């Protein structure tokens, strides 16, 4: 990342803004609260960007709260403002500036500026409400962050539900000052000369005014843009800050800022008289507002009013299976589909095996592909050694190796033992037990060192069940199979584990009559049946490094039914 060095003296506008806010308690408190949220996540030596660093006031608050040394990059799209920040931090060895370059009307994204996957955290105070293309900007931030990186946002111009009555958005007060200014110009003969064409001018200047003090957007708008950019949003919060009337008036009276509050008089280059009149009108308008607040606002008193700062935390989730490939048998629907989705969400490429349901398999592929991983659907009846070997050849062609094998496909053919036919016995054993043998036999040679193999057994494989001798035998067989394989494959660092689900909602259990289901639910300590997602979460654990010292184990996913 290359440091930006200013090529001109600090602009007077940026210096004026800096001076207006650098000691203003409400401004500092809002940024301190942002730093307090972010700093606990920051570790020594990490790289952090202050996005929309402006004149460096937010950077100062961050440095004050930091407990260890890290590299802080101040990023802004305005050379004038960043020039002031550069001046403020010129003696800080670990703080550098970086400018977002502009091409035509469009600024470079953060990732285009810093490079992808470079940053540990991004912090942004008092900036996001000024951004039009939120999704594009957030995407650039997402790409610039490393996996597991955080994005902490603060803004005083976001609409949040359920705020206490009387809490104001700071930009909203500027709008009210502007409206009061217009009434003063219209009614006071002293300012008659500005009355001419006032409405046209107001319309003409609206864009400039809203550029500096934009209309607020709801919190949901930001959440949506963050999620579309790839972020996971955490809890949002707000803080209330007291603003003294005289402090706020001092801000409103900064001459360079008055062009944003009342551009209708003099715009950016007022004459001396216009500047004087504009200052008088804004001062009177602000005093009118303060009087109104004092009398009518629940959170205002004779010296202060209350503003709100909204805080949003977002995360670029760590994709712990990135670069890995997983094969899940029987993944067209039910538990297998959910396992495939969960592994894909964590970054694994997926080979999705199915037998008869091409349409559902295709639907699962379509749900997985937008997650940004490769997904290959392969039809193969796992009870056939030949078909599973053909599947392995296809996998080798597309992915060469695999890292995770989930033996999930299974069927039931329930009947009490005396009535059970030979076909019913053999079909279940051939699919559930021999099928898992076939898939493992074909795929094991393609497994990378450090791989993970799972068998989806069942509570029935441990405890047995009336009408399920064939199924129980197949599922108990898987447990012995897994433990033996775990002992054999340990030397290759391949772990082999079993998941034993209890009662999980899927097509397999949908035919169970409601009254039987109700009885089962009563017997389950957690008082409800499980979802395919519950099994998928256990599968993700066994697939990931988090279980790297676990092999030959059985994980029960049954709501406590076996207690
Ligand atoms: P579903 O019936 O919803 O799904 C079964 C899946 O297995 C389908 O994708 C099906 O593919 C596939 N399949 C079946 N036979 C074959 C075969 N010969 N070759 C390849 N694929 C095959 O069942 P669940 O999702 O509920 O069950 C998944 C696993 O979890 C099973 O092993 C089951 O025994 C086990 N389990 C389930 C429990 C539950 O309560 N649901 C409890 C305990 C264990 P297709 O549709 O394309 O034929």
Q: CA 311 to CA 239: how far, in whole Å?
A: 8
Distance 503 CA to ligand 1 centre (A): 13
**Candidates 508, 520, 557: which one to mutate for ligand 1, based on the most atoms within 8 Å of Cβ?**
508
Distance CA 395, CA 401 (A): 8
CA distance 258 to 57: 21
| Cα 408 to ligand 1 centre (Å) | 6
Determine the Cα–Cα distance for residues 123 and 138; give it in Å rounded to an integer.
12
Residues of the chain with CATH 3.40.50.720: 325-557
Closest atom of ligand 1 to 529 CA is: 40
Q: How far apart are CA 515 and CA 30, in angstroms?
A: 57
Give me the pLDDT at residue 268, please: 86
Atom of ligand 1 nearest to the CA of 361: 47
pLDDT in the model for residue 12: 87
Out of 350, 361, 377, 410, give the residue to mutate to test ligand 1, the one with the largest number of ligand atoms within 8 Å of its CB. 410
CB distance 335 to 362 below 8 Å: no
H/E run at residue 353: strand 349-354
What ligand 1 atom has the least distance to the C-alpha of 504? 40
Q: Where in the chain is the domain with CATH 3.40.50.150?
A: 12-315
Structure tokens that stand for 544 in this block: 């990931």
Q: How far is CA 154 from CA 50, 144, 164, 265, 377, in A?
A: 11, 19, 18, 32, 44
Domain 12-315 sits in CATH at 3.40.50.150
Tell me the pLDDT tens digit for each residue of 321-341: 999 999 999 999 999 999 999
Q: Which residues pair with 75 in a beta bridge?
A: 51, 98
CB 73 within 8 Å of CB 49 = yes
Nearest CA, atom 34, ligand 1:
410
Residue 440 has which token pair? 């493992």
- Point out the ligand 1 atom lying closest to the alpha carbon of residue 334: 25
Give the span between the Cα atoms of 501 and 462, in whole angstroms: 11
Q: Which two tokens stand for residue 506?
A: 């899927």
CA of 367 relative to ligand 1 center, distance in Å: 19
Residue 553 CA to residue 555 CA, distance in Å, equals 7
Q: Which helix (H) or strand (E) element contains residue 393?
A: helix 385-399
Instruction: Please name the residue whose Cα sits nearest to atom 27 of ligand 1.
Output: 335
Which CATH number is 325-557 given? 3.40.50.720
C-alpha to C-alpha distance for 242 and 224, rounded to whole angstroms = 30
Q: Which residues are catalytic?
A: 471
Taking CB atoms and a 6 Å cutoff, what residues make up the pocket around ligand 1?
A: 329-336, 353-357, 381-383, 408-411, 431, 435, 456, 458, 501, 503-504, 506-509
Distance CA 457, CA 497 (A): 10
Nearest ligand 1 atom, CA 475: 34
Residue with the nearest Cα to atom 2 of ligand 1?
Answer: 508
- 49-77 in b/e burial notation, b at 16+ Cβ within 10 A? bbbbbbbbbbbbbbbebbeeebbbbbbbb
Q: Which of 457, 482, 506, 529 to mutate to test the pocket of ligand 1 (most atoms within 8 A of CB)?
A: 506
Distance 329 CA to ligand 1 centre (A): 9
Residue 459 CA: which ligand 1 atom is closest? 43
Instruction: Report pLDDT for 67.
Output: 85
Atom of ligand 1 at shortest range from CA of 412: 34
- Residue identified by tokens 């639907």 is 363
The residue whose C-alpha atom lies closest to atom 23 belonging to ligand 1 is: 508
C-alpha 376 – ligand 1 centre gap (Å):
19
| Contact status, residue 366 vs residue 360, Cβ threshold 8 Å | no
Q: Atom 39, ligand 1: which residue's CA is nearest?
A: 504
Query: Ligand 1 pocket: which of 327, 328, 329, 335 to mutate (most atoms <8 Å of CB)?
Result: 335
| CA separation for the pair 262, 178 (Å, rounded) | 6
Name the residue at shortest CA distance from atom 3 of ligand 1: 334
Distance (angstroms) between ligand 1 centre and the Cα of 410 equals 4
- DSSP string of 14-30? HHHHHHHHTT-HHHHHH
Treating both helix axes as pointing N-terminal to C-terminal, what angle do 12-21 and 79-88 enclose, rounded to 10 degrees? 60
d(CA 94, CA 89): 9
Query: Which numbered atom of ligand 1 lies nearest the CA of 503?
Result: 40
How many Å lie between the centroid of ligand 1 and the Cα of residue 334? 7
Give CA–CA dist 279/253, Å, rounded: 6
CA–centroid distance, residue 51 to ligand 1 (Å): 49
Please tell me the predicted confidence (pLDDT) of residue 53: 97
pLDDT tens, position by position, for the chain (563 residues)? 789 999 999 998 899 889 989 999 999 999 999 999 999 999 999 999 999 999 999 999 999 999 889 999 999 999 999 999 999 999 999 999 999 999 998 999 999 999 999 999 999 999 999 999 999 999 999 999 999 999 999 999 999 999 999 999 999 999 999 999 999 999 999 999 999 999 999 999 888 888 888 999 999 999 999 999 999 999 899 999 999 999 999 999 988 889 889 999 998 899 999 999 999 999 999 999 999 999 999 999 999 999 999 999 999 988 999 999 999 999 999 999 999 999 999 999 999 999 999 999 999 999 999 888 999 999 999 999 999 999 999 999 999 999 999 999 999 999 999 999 999 999 999 999 999 999 999 999 999 999 999 999 999 999 999 999 999 999 999 999 999 999 999 999 999 999 999 999 999 898 888 998 999 999 999 999 999 999 999 999 999 999 999 999 999 999 999 99
pTM for this model (two decimals): 0.70
d(C-alpha 482, C-alpha 469), whole Å: 20
* 264 CA from centroid of ligand 1 (Å): 70
CA distance 255 to 259: 7
All residues at 6 or more sequence positions from 271 whose CB lies less than 8 Å from its CB, including other chains = none
Determine which residue's CA is closest to atom 17 belonging to ligand 1: 381
pLDDT tens, position by position, 375-416: 999 999 999 999 999 999 999 999 999 999 999 999 999 999
- Best probe residue, ligand 1, of 337, 359, 409, 554 (max atoms within 8 Å of C-beta): 409
All residues at 6 or more sequence positions from 188 whose CB lies less than 8 Å from its CB, including other chains: none
Question: What pLDDT does 470 receive?
Answer: 98
* Cα 356 to ligand 1 centroid, rounded to whole Å: 11
């Amino acid at each position: 990342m290359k440091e930006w060095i200013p090529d001109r003296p600090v602009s007077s506008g940026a210096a004026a803004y800096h001076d207006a806010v650098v000691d203003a308690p409400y401004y500092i408190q809002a940024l301190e609260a942002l730093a307090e949220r972010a700093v606990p996540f920051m570790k020594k030596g990490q790289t952090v960007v202050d996005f929309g660093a402006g004149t460096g006031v937010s950077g100062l608050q961050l440095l004050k709260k930091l407990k260890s040394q890290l590299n802080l990059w101040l990023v802004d799209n305005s050379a004038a403002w960043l020039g002031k920040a550069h001046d403020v931090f010129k003696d800080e060895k670990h703080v550098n500036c970086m400018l977002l370059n502009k091409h035509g009307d469009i600024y470079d994204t953060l990732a285009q500026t810093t490079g992808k996957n470079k940053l540990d955290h991004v912090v942004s105070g008092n900036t996001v409400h000024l951004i039009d293309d939120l999704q594009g900007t957030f995407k650039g931030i997402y790409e610039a962050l490393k996996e597991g990186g955080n994005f902490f946002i603060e803004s005083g111009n976001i609409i949040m539900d359920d705020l206490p009555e009387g809490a104001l958005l700071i930009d909203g007060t500027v709008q009210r000052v502007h409206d009061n200014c217009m009434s003063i110009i219209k009614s006071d003969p002293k300012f008659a000369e500005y009355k001419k064409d006032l409405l046209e001018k107001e319309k003409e200047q609206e864009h400039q005014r809203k550029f500096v003090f934009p209309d607020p957007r709801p919190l949901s708008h930001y959440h949506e843009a963050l999620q579309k950019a790839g972020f996971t949003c955490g809890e949002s919060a707000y803080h209330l800050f007291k603003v003294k009337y005289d402090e706020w008036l001092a801000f409103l009276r900064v001459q360079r800022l008055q062009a944003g509050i009342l551009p209708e008089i003099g715009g950016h280059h007022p004459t001396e008289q216009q500047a004087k009149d504009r200052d008088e009108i804004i001062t009177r308008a602000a005093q009118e507002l303060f009087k109104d607040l004092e009398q009518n606002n629940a959170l205002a008193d004779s010296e202060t009013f209350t503003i709100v700062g909204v805080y949003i935390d977002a995360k670029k989730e760590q994709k712990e299976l990135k670069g890995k490939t997983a094969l899940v048998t029987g993944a067209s629907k039910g538990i297998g589909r959910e396992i495939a989705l969960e592994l894909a969400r964590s970054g694994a490429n997926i080979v999705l095996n199915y037998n008869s349901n091409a349409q559902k398999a295709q639907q699962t592929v379509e749900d997985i592909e937008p997650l940004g991983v490769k997904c290959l659907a392969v039809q193969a009846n796992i009870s056939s050694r030949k078909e599973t070997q053909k599947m392995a050849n296809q996998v080798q062609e597309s992915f060469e190796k695999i890292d995770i094998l989930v033996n999930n496909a299974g069927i039931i053919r329930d009947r009490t033992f005396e009535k059970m036919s030979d076909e019913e016995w053999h079909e279940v054993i051939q699919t559930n037990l021999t099928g898992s043998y076939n898939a493992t036999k074909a795929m094991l040679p393609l497994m990378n060192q450090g791989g993970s193999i799972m068998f989806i057994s069942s509570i029935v494989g441990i405890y047995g069940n009336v009408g399920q001798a064939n199924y129980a035998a197949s599922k108990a067989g898987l447990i012995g199979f897994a433990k033996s394989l775990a002992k054999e494959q340990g030397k290759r660092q391949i772990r082999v584990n079993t998941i034993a689900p209890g009662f999980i909602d899927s097509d397999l259990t949908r035919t169970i009559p409601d009254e039987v289901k109700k009885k089962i639910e009563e017997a389950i300590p957690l008082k409800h049946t499980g979802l395919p997602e519950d099994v998928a979460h256990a599968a993700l654990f066994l697939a990931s490094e988090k279980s790297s010292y676990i092999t030959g184990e059985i994980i029960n996913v049954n709501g406590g039914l076996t207690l």
